[in-house]
Structure 1
Amino acid sequence: MTTANEVNRTGLVPVAACGTEVEPVEVVDAELVNDDAPGAGEVAVHDPVAAVLAALDTKAAEYQYSNRPDKTRTGYARDWELWGEFHEWLAEQTGVLLPLSTITVGTYVAFVRWLDEVKQAAPNSIERRVTGVASEARRFGYNVPKAARAAATQALKPFKNDKERQKRGRGKAAAITPADLRKMNTAPRERKPQPDARRRRVLVVPELARLRDRSLHTMRFAVAGRNEEMSELDDTGIRLVAEGLEVHVPSVKGRPARDVVVSYGENADTCAVRCWNAWKEAKLAAGAAPDGPAYLPVDQWGNLGAEKLSPDGCGRAVSRSAKYAGMTGRRITGHSGRRGLVTTGRRKGKRTEKLRAQGGWSPNSPVFWEYVDEGEKWEDNATEGIGL
């Protein structure tokens, strides 16, 4: 005899009470909702497919987050802090504190205006912070409507065309030329004390650091390398051949790797091949591993580090060398070499497809074609030779 607690394979429970047969009741794979929760008394049906998909989405978000560069994670975390600060400010204005998950057309546009009017942020910074908030929101499982993103972009357009607002930002990196590289690589490497400094001694940059920076700057220019790419270069990816160097630029941030060649230069101070050979010989003599990172940190006493030079370290090296060379009127950064290769190459008649492949730009990259236009602006000038 089947009892009330026994369930048959069909999911039906035959119940007997006081000798009276009761109609079988179908058992649903479900769990009861708390009495005080919304929809109390209802039965929530468990969907195993939805549960698996939700778990996979969570794992995917965690994986993507863990693989982001530290600088990106830090920046997005700061963006989310600003999103919380904006909500606190909004609560003071309205008397209502909205949850951080409230991402709508209204809140996103208000966030853009708050960054512009209250924080006095540059348009490019606002655009990046909007992206950072959206990324963090998705990581936390919040919905980011496309309409909200589109409205924020539309609200930002007039700010980008405003000259006064554009001055808030640091501006684009200036292109460097071979002549600039020569100044950077031959300038005296001394740091003079400040007028109010207690110690009056002059600090001289170690020779090992000077050789590294010379190679770093010329190699960056020659391969149109980003800071992250220069940091990830290793000795095994740089091969000396009769014509110059064959360089394997590794993949960073999901960008495809590329193999490029670098010819011998006309000047020893700007020749990437000669500068690389001098640096490699010096670092091996200092105890570096023969198959380790291409560029290593060097401390103020000339001691060589074992780990690769960080992307930030690569960027600081070029800015520091520009200061030694007295190039203070322009913004020289890690991106200056990429821009400089294209502008200089076009002025010398180099083919655009060669330049694009050297730096790993996509065929439709607006940044690349902006650099091309800059390099060609004096070619067949509209006012040249027309009888003026």
Structure 2
Amino acid sequence: MTIAEQYETGLEPLEVVDAELVEDDAAPGAGTVAVHDPAAAVLQALDTDAKQYLEDIRPKKTRDGYARDWKIWGEFHDWLAEQKGTRLPLSTVTVGTFVAFVVYLDQVVEAPPTTIERRITGVTSEARRRGFTVPKEVTVAARRALKPLRLDKERQKRGRGQAASLSPADLRAMAEAPHERKPLPTARSRRVYRVPELARLRDQALNALKVGVAGRNEEMALLDDCDIVAVDEGLMVSVPSVKGRPARKDPVTYGEHRSTCPVRCWQAYRAAKLAAGADPDGPAFLPVDQWGHQGTKRLSPDGVGRALARSAEYAGLTGRRITGHSARRTLVTLGIKSGKRVDKLRRQGGWSPNSPVFWEYVDEGAAFEDAPTEGIGL
């Protein structure tokens, strides 16, 4: 009998319960009434929306990379099923599966250690995004398995290798070298291409400031003029947030040499670019074509990285892998050699306290500090 029928017959209506019936006999608590909790429903909806929002604001390059990592995680499970005769679900993220994943990438795929480390990060992030549990001891075990591989020179040769750090002499040679590109021996034209003066000033300022703040390519590309403020001691640089990392303010002092001084290089470039018609409130670094014409859109992250590598090429620095990342390594190694505080170096470049890469740079800078062979009478 419906509630309306009960009113028509004069009977007292049944009590209406705000609940949902669980009809599946196989479900736990079958036959019971689950009381609806509005607060829990709202919280669940907010959690769902938050996860989607965080995924939407993640850079496309990162999303694509993690998706590729997850695909390789699936390929690893295909291989594991052939080896063991049993297929495990992709949600099985344990110490055993993660260490086996490292071994698979090393021995079967023959990936370089840096790529393996990236795969660990990508699979961990993607698994958690999908709601799977990844205990901390799992990632710790995987990186323990990876550690000896990173020290193996033959395995390091599989990839492009790590970016090399630069000495003060290297930086001066890069800043002072004639900015010109000579033709290849096989080229028909024997014309020597010379970089316009405005581009040369930009590269000097970009490279010097990049070392000064241990800047990532993306961070340097996003800098605006207003982010670089002149103060009595030099410059205060507001480095923007990139890929979820916190923004930071980095003090940059005057250098000892004009050609590598971040402050004077920036002042010279800014004056030149404003004279060429740049917006004083626009991007800090702008593209310049081969005829010296200045663009209006900001220099891309790839352009930032190429500027440093190109300057190294002009200076004849060969035999080492010098990339945009070399600037970050250089600040730490030179800073440690000069007795700078580790915590200040870490904050200047925006490294996390437990960053293994940062501590690797610290060890490199301190390699000759109180060296075992020093002062022992050899």
Q: Tell whether 2:14 aligns with 1:5.
A: no
Residue pairs, 1:11-160, within 5 angstroms: 29-30=19-20, 39=27, 42=30, 45=34, 48-93=38-83, 99-146=89-136, 148-160=138-150
Q: Distance in 1 between matches of 2:39 and 2:224?
A: 45
Q: Secondary structure at the match of 2:259?
A: coil
RMSD: 3.8
Number of aligned residues: 375
Query: Scaled by the length of structure 2, what TM-score is found?
Result: 0.81
Moved more, 310-319 or 127-136: 310-319
**How much has 1:157 moved relative to structure 2?**
4.3
Contact 1:322 1:332 in 2 (8 A): yes
Q: Secondary structure at the match of 2:77?
A: helix
Q: Secondary structure at the match of 1:52?
A: helix
Q: Distance in 1 between matches of 2:356 and 2:135?
A: 27
Q: Secondary structure at the match of 1:193?
A: coil
Moved more, 145-154 or 72-81: 145-154
| Aligned equivalent of 1:257 | 248
Q: Distance in 2 between matches of 1:326 and 1:270?
A: 17
**How much has 1:322 moved relative to structure 2?**
1.3
Q: Cα gap change, 1:30/1:176 in structure 2, threshold over 3 Å: closer, same or farther?
A: same
Q: Deviations over 1:82-115 (max 9, x none)?
A: 1233334445556766554443444433322221
| Aligned equivalent of 1:230 | 220
**How much has 1:216 moved relative to structure 2?**
0.4
Q: What percent identity do the matched residue pairs reach?
A: 62
Q: Secondary structure at the match of 2:237?
A: strand
Q: Distance in 2 between matches of 1:59 and 1:122?
A: 37
Q: Cα gap change, 1:329/1:88 in structure 2, threshold over 3 Å: closer, same or farther?
A: same
Query: Scaled by the length of structure 1, what TM-score is found?
Result: 0.80
Q: Output the amino acid matched with 2:3.
A: E
Q: Which runs of 5 or more structure 2 residues have no equivalent in the other structure?
A: none
Structure 1 runs of 4+ aligned residues shifted over 6 Å read 13-17
Q: Secondary structure at the match of 1:269?
A: helix
Moved more, 80-89 or 313-322: 80-89
**How much has 1:373 moved relative to structure 2?**
4.3
Q: Distance in 2 between matches of 1:380 and 1:99?
A: 52
- The structure that has the greater radius of gyration is 1
Q: Output the amino acid matched with 1:212.
A: R
Q: Tell whether 2:181 aligns with 1:191.
A: yes
**How much has 1:280 moved relative to structure 2?**
0.9
Structure holding more helix per residue: 2
Residue pairs, 1:204-243, within 5 angstroms: 204-243=194-233
Q: Deviations over 1:105-147 (max 9, x none)?
A: 4443332222112211123321221221121222233343555
Q: Cα gap change, 1:225/1:209 in structure 2, threshold over 3 Å: closer, same or farther?
A: same
Q: Distance in 1 between matches of 2:350 and 2:15?
A: 66
